[in-house]
Amino acid sequence: MNGEPIRNIVIVGGGTAGWMAAAALGTVMGAMPDLSIRLIESEAIGTVGVGEATIPQIIAFNTMLGLDENEFVRETHATYKLGVEFVDWARKGHRYIHPFGSYGLDMLGIDFHHFWLRARDLGHGSELDAYSIAAMAGKAGKFIRPQNERPGSPLAKLGYAFQFDASRYARYLRRHAEARGVERTEGRVVEVLQDAESGFVTGVQLDGGEIVEGELFLDCSGFRSLLLGQTLGVPFTDWSKWLPCDRAVAMPCTLAGDRQPLTRSTAQPAGWQWRIPLQHRIGNGHVYASAFIDEDEATRLLLEGLDGEALAEPNRLRFTAGHRERLWEKNVVALGLSGGFLEPLESTAIHLVQSGIARLLTLFPTTAFTPHEIGRYNREGAQEYLDIRDFLVLHYRASERDDSEFWRYCRALDPPEGLAEKLAMFESSGRVIREHEELFTETSWLSVMVGQGVQAGGHHPVAQMLDEAETVKRLAHIRGVIESTVGQMPSQDEFLAANGSA
């Protein structure tokens, strides 16, 4: 092995990213002799204070930490999430769901959706949602955990995630991390110290004068990007051309309206608005492009769209879509907002923290910091951002809306290369391609392409091996099984109460 084992890890920042990293490192490495993991955070600076919706991968992270799911749901005031409902995105008055899990049943060795496309070509229209247990349960306000012991049931394939209070999650993980040896220091980093020759970070100086030294630094300092951006000067890859939204105004409100286990995204004239029901409140926010709408108007639209009474003053945030060119430079790894940000349209930010931590654990360095690990980390991280970017751009690019300058700009965008290829493939043959284990599955790409009104120009020839009557019969059977299964599921409120939550 080149180099010596790392003995001192310093995490700068105690938002969701910092405490997720601390909890994971504490769980996996906390028992290693002579290893110190220290987290520095400043209550005076505070955290970004938003971030509520997640994707199913978070279940693996919580399991890796050994968290009890019912306790986690109670502690973070979480609700369940079966997908995202998009309202007014394709055109005004239209809605569709991007569900977790998958559609229907694959038949004759090919994807289910080819049979659905063929049936549609034959004039048998039925909504794609009707073939997704997650979409149908979401609309009905139902929830139950997947039943893997029933392989034939659609419940075996139910995908789910959570909607929670990210600040509570950070506090919960803090207890978990501290119980596994992570040491927390309250203080503001006022200076970052570097080796004069190599430029490696050697320590950080706190406002009280203390110097905290380390060998590996995790920059979890949020949009400030104190170590990676400000100190090491790693440039930012700016994607605002494709994703022009650069502001958000967030405001929680009291519970009111429906309580479906879905995140709702409603398109607005220059952006979109989220609505995320938790156990104790609804999270709301308006993500918008400042080139097309001003702050007062954006705030007015948000207030107008609230179901309940506002619970706080508006929290205003600024960002640029994109990421640091390299997420790992010298002995600094950025996790969370310090590494980059893509608008929360598909709830990917907390996932990017999680995947960064998993990648770091796989490629964990020694004091030699060899370029192989660093290079691989950076390639994989940049690819992940790029894949998510393309998926987000699809939502805007494929809209039929032309009722505002913002939507006309989005419709006229030249899609990035990967997205252009995916669109061309679907438009010519109905095929959905997923590259190199990218985060979003075929179900996700299909749901948004169909939901946004992208027309498939055909279907797989094998789908024609079932005659029309058999195709229609099988599709009706699948819809019927999903409908009756949803009918037997408890409501989300019943499920939460039965498992110890409000």
**Minimum distance between the CB of residue 230 and ligand FAD, rounded to whole angstroms?**
9
In whole angstroms, give the CA distance from residue 308 to residue 310.
6
Name the residue among 225, 91, 201, 121 with its Cα closest to residue 459.
121
Q: Which of 81, 142, 157, 330 is catalytic?
A: 81
What SS3 state is found at 491? Answer: strand
Stretch that binds ligand FAD, among 66-74, 231-239, 301-309, 345-353 (CB under 6 A): 345-353
Q: Phi first, then psi: what are they for 5, rounded to 5°?
A: -60, 145
Looking up tokens 């989220």 gives 274
The rounded distance, in Å, linking the Cα atoms of 139 and 85 is 9
For ligand FAD, the binding residues in 372-401 under the rule CB under 6 A are none
Pick the piece of the chain touching ligand FAD (CB under 6 A) from 16-24, 67-75, 430-438, 455-463: 16-24
Of 187 and 430, which CB lies nearer to ligand FAD in the complex structure? 187
Instruction: Write the interaction track for ligand FAD spanning residues 348-377; mark x where CB under 6 A is met and - where it is not.
Output: -xx---------------------------
Residues 6 or more apart from 171 whose CB is under 8 A from it?
19
Asked if residue 219 lies in contact with residue 201, where contact means CB atoms within 8 angstroms, the answer is: no
Minimum distance of ligand FAD from residue 241's CB (angstroms): 20
Exactly one of 26, 261, 344, 430 binds ligand FAD (CB under 6 A); that residue is: 344
Nearer to ligand FAD, 15 or 430 (CB): 15
Q: In angstroms, give the least distance from the CB of 29 to ligand FAD.
A: 20
* 115-123, 128-136, 343-351, 361-369 -> range binding ligand FAD (CB under 6 A): 343-351
What part of residues 311-330 is at the interface with ligand FAD (CB under 6 A)? Answer: 317, 319
HSE-CB at 38 with a 13 A cutoff on CA atoms is 19
Q: Is 161 in the site for ligand FAD (CB under 6 A)?
A: no
Q: Max alpha carbon distance in the chain (Å)?
A: 78
All residues at 6 or more sequence positions from 195 whose CB lies less than 8 Å from its CB, including other chains: 201, 202
Separation of alpha carbons 263 and 130, rounded Å: 18
Amino acid present at 189: V
Number of other residues whose CB lies within 10 A of the CB of residue 185: 17
Which of 6, 17, 137, 245: binder of ligand FAD (CB under 6 A)? 17
Strands (E), 91-213: 95-99, 161-163, 183-186, 189-194, 201-206, 211-213
Beta bridge partners of 9: 37, 216
Looking at residues 20 to 49 of the shown chain, list those that interact with ligand FAD (rule: CB under 6 A): 40-42, 45-48
Query: Which listed residue (9, 10, 11, 14) binds ligand FAD by CB under 6 A?
Result: 14
Q: Which of residues 201-230 bind ligand FAD (CB under 6 A)?
A: 220-222, 224, 226
Which residues in the 242-281 window bind ligand FAD by CB under 6 A? Answer: 248, 250
Smallest gap, in angstroms, from Cβ of residue 355 to ligand FAD? 12
Count of CB atoms within 10 A of residue 209's CB? Answer: 8
Min dist. Cβ of residue 350 to ligand FAD (A)? 3
Nearer Cβ to ligand FAD, position 101 or 285? Answer: 285
User: Does 142 qualify as catalytic in the annotation?
Assistant: no
Would you say 446 and 432 are in contact if contact means Cβ atoms under 8 Å apart?
A: yes
Residues present in the chain in total: 502
Binding residues vs ligand FAD (CB under 6 A): 12-18, 40-42, 45-48, 50-54, 166, 188-189, 220-222, 224, 226, 248, 250, 285, 317, 319, 336-338, 344, 347, 349-350
Residues designated catalytic:
81
